[in-house]
Amino acid sequence: MSVSSSSSTYTTNHDDDDDDDEDNAREQEEEVFFRQDMRVFLRLRPMNKLEQSRRSKNCIDLQKDPTIVTIDSPLEGEILDYRFDHVFEEESSQEEVFDTALPDVAPMVLDGYNCTILAYGQTGTGKTHTMFGVNGEEEDGMMLRTVTSIFQELQQHSNDDSYYYTIRVSFIELYLEKIFDLLQPSNTNTTINEEGQLRGAAELCCLSVADVRAILARGQACRTMSRTQLNTESSKSHAMLRMTITQQPQESNDAATICSTLWMMDLAGSELANAKRLPRTSTTSPPAAQLTAMGATTLETDSAIPAITTSTTTNTPSESVMIHRSLNALVRMIKVQSSSKQRNQLSTSDVWKSSKLTRLLRPAFGGNCCTTVLLTASPSSYTISETMSTIQFGQYCRQIQNKPQLQKRRPQQCQNLDYKQLAKRIAQECLEPTTSNPNRDEALWEIIQELANDDDDAEEEAQSK
């Protein structure tokens, strides 16, 4: 399989001093990357009964060019044109959206590149429908269609005995700035590290599309839902499915192991003040004092993008505050990445650290990932402020350029692991849960304790030499 992109520039790093070194040449080969603009698509939905009852008008006109949309916004007081990679009309099917926006995701992932598919928009505009779909293969969402495409690609290579494939799936939700493992609700050890990598989530091996379909159904049943004026069952959490595909050589040779990751995300609605949450036994809303401490009255918003607001049924400030915080943090991070003046400051800035959502999405926006954003919006004048906010979000995304890099590792690289550091990390993990065990081997655990508390100064001194 090959990778192709009209907006891609392939680049290889070279070291003139080691041109004759075969090992160094192999490392250079693995550093090949290409530059790719983020792809942003806009999907419109028909006006619903509420919008029709308010006698709202259609503010969005589609042009002959499917990449341009014209908006007659009462807020702006003028007619404006916006460009996307493609604009899907109100009656567009799931198949049309997938065939246009995501046909190359499966080949990219199997070629060894990390990919992210992200749905963003106002509550009730069709994000969950776009990503998850409904029962029946004809109405499968982008998640299952992408998974089906991956398994079809693998089936075409079933006669290739040089590699064997492993597919592992995790399913989490981010709710009230806490990570919930939808496949193992009792799991409380799920974290996101500084590099934006998910750690500790349960993983299930999948052998077919049916396995993934069962995982999605199981996880969706555990998601946090609310009732709003725009949607009787609106998701109030960010749902994230991670698929890790490992391609390992069958024989012990010099072939590289490929380990790529596909993230598929359904973000919560971009306006969540005053939602009425359905009961959830595993989550307790923070008290009012704690909400104030979290910044309930001093939320920061981006002046270039309308503030995230809504009109819903009953007040649940905890949901409103935390969704506000995460989505506004995402907007700020995207604005920094889209600005050439601020882009180089992101590595030293704390903008991406302000939310678990931004930490997890950091590689997808300007990092080592092929990212596709699916915007969903209503053409109604009744929700024009939220529609304009969604469109402005997409315009910032279109200015971001990623650098996807091959996710390959050769056996020589695997042998250079620092086994002492690895043992130390294992010791730190296994020490805490067994400290209360009265029957543990004290002599053994004294050694483990010593290893876990190994003096870091000695490591720094060794590195300095």
Q: In angstroms, rounded to a whole number, what is the distance separating the alpha carbons of residues 224 and 279?
A: 9
Q: In angstroms, rounded to a whole number, what is the distance separating the alpha carbons of residues 388 and 375?
A: 11
Place of tokens 């004048």: 381
> Structure tokens of 382?
């009744």
Provide the pLDDT for residue 443. Answer: 56
Q: In angstroms, rounded to a whole number, what is the distance separating the alpha carbons of residues 206 and 324?
A: 35
CB–CB of 363/403 below 8 Å? no
Q: In angstroms, rounded to a whole number, what is the distance separating the alpha carbons of residues 406 and 421?
A: 26
Q: In angstroms, rounded to a whole number, what is the distance separating the alpha carbons of residues 40 and 48?
A: 24
Please identify every stretch of the chain with a pLDDT value under 50, giving residue numbers as ranges.
Answer: 1-31, 228-232, 272-315, 348, 415-416, 435-436
Query: How far is residue 254 CA from its own chain's centroid?
Result: 33
Exposed / middle / buried, residue 24 (Cβ in 10 Å: 0-12, 13-18, 19+): middle
> Structure tokens of 132?
């998850």
Q: What phi and psi values does residue 389 have, to the nearest 5 degrees?
A: -60, -45
pLDDT tens, residue by residue, 253-302: 667 788 999 999 999 887 643 333 333 333 333 333 332 333 332 323 34
Closest listed residue to residue 43, CA positions, set 364, 394, 378: 378
Q: What phi and psi values does residue 399 have, to the nearest 5 degrees?
A: -90, -5
CB–CB of 129/141 below 8 Å? yes
> Structure tokens of 208?
């077919």
Angle at 235 between CA 232 and CA 240, to 5 degrees: 155
Exposed / middle / buried, residue 447 (Cβ in 10 Å: 0-12, 13-18, 19+): exposed
> By three-state DSSP, how is residue 291 classified?
helix
Please report the DSSP string for 15-37 in residue order. -GGGTT-HHHHHHHHHT-EE-EE
Closest listed residue to residue 71, CA positions, set 83, 59, 88, 85: 59
